[in-house]
Homo-oligomer: A and B are copies of this chain.
């Protein structure tokens, strides 16, 4: 039983992680500024003796005592992170420095929720964790891509210089309940279009997706492993096949998942159909709720 901090814990991934860690019996502190997250996502835990929810922005220092930090706070989809690029940069730079400063002071281990976007528009296929990426430092997506890249740099600087234990998960696109319906990404677009009887906006690219429960298990495995180098977390190759016409999305990104498989023994298990069914049910309920 550990004292665990989740930043961004009221968001899509963070709230599923909250559910898992609470169910495992840990003592949890969720920190969120509710920019894209919602109290509703974690409200079923409010009042539980092991659970605390703090309305706090990670750009400001935070002084608490914990054993592990899952650092997820950051807008995650293009419309959200491009809404206020300066804030996205502050969250990923100052916010990450603050959480590493906290980890250093209390001797906690920190897991950074990084992203496949650190590979940018890749020129090497598939991308394993040694690939340096191909990112435009001054493009419209740079606030997120470069913000996450330098957040990784910061993790390893604190590891080498201060002995902070870090874990870095490079997460590929994830879907599931509590995801943002209007994030403009392919899964949400398709489900909404289907539910509303509109034609699907289909084009020729492949995408790699996986279900949130698989991701959450991967994050917990990684946190408790001894692998300090970055690890790709993504669905195994056979399970994808998705099409969209989102134009600015990096094309032809194809992850190499062997490291997670070999070193963590981790692999997504939820079949695409099952994950999609659950997500579609969530979207239907949300649409009803809105109507």
Contacts and interface: CB of A to CB of B under 8 A. Distances in A.
Interface of A: 84-86, 89-90, 93-94, 97, 118, 120, 132-138, 142-143, 146-147, 149-150, 152-154, 156-158, 160-162, 168, 229-230
Given A93-B97, A160-B85, A161-B86, A153 B132 contact: no
Given A93-B150, A137-B153, 13 more contacts: A84-B161, A85-B160, A89-B97, A94-B94, A118-B137, A120-B132, A132-B136, A137-B152, A138-B230, A146-B146, A146-B149, A146-B153, A150-B150
A204 B18 CA distance: 56
A134 B153 CA distance: 15
Contacts of A142: 153, 156-157
Grouping DSSP codes into helix (H, G, I), strand (E, B) and loop, the A interface class, with mixed when no group exceeds half, is helix
Contacts of A135: 132-133
A-B residue pairs, 4 tightest by C-beta = A93-B93, A85-B157, A142-B153, A137-B149
B137 A133 contact: yes
Given A143-B157, A149-B146, A154-B89, A132 B132 contact: no
A182 to B, nearest CB: 21
B89 A153 contact: yes
A134 B134 CA distance: 7
A92 to B, nearest CB: 9
B120 A158 contact: no
A158 B90 CA distance: 12
Contact of A156 (B138, B149, B230): B138
B132 A137 contact: yes
Contacts of A146: 146, 149-150, 153
Select the residue from A89, A142, A150, A230 with max chain B CB neighbours within 10 A: A150
Given A94-B93, A97-B90, A138 B154 contact: no
A142 B154 CA distance: 9
A23 to B, nearest CB: 33
A142 B230 CA distance: 15
24 contacts: A84-B161, A85-B157, A85-B160, A85-B161, A86-B154, A86-B162, A89-B97, A89-B150, A89-B153, A89-B154, A89-B157, A93-B93, A93-B94, A93-B97, A118-B137, A132-B135, A132-B137, A133-B135, A134-B134, A137-B152, A138-B156, A142-B157, A147-B153, A150-B150
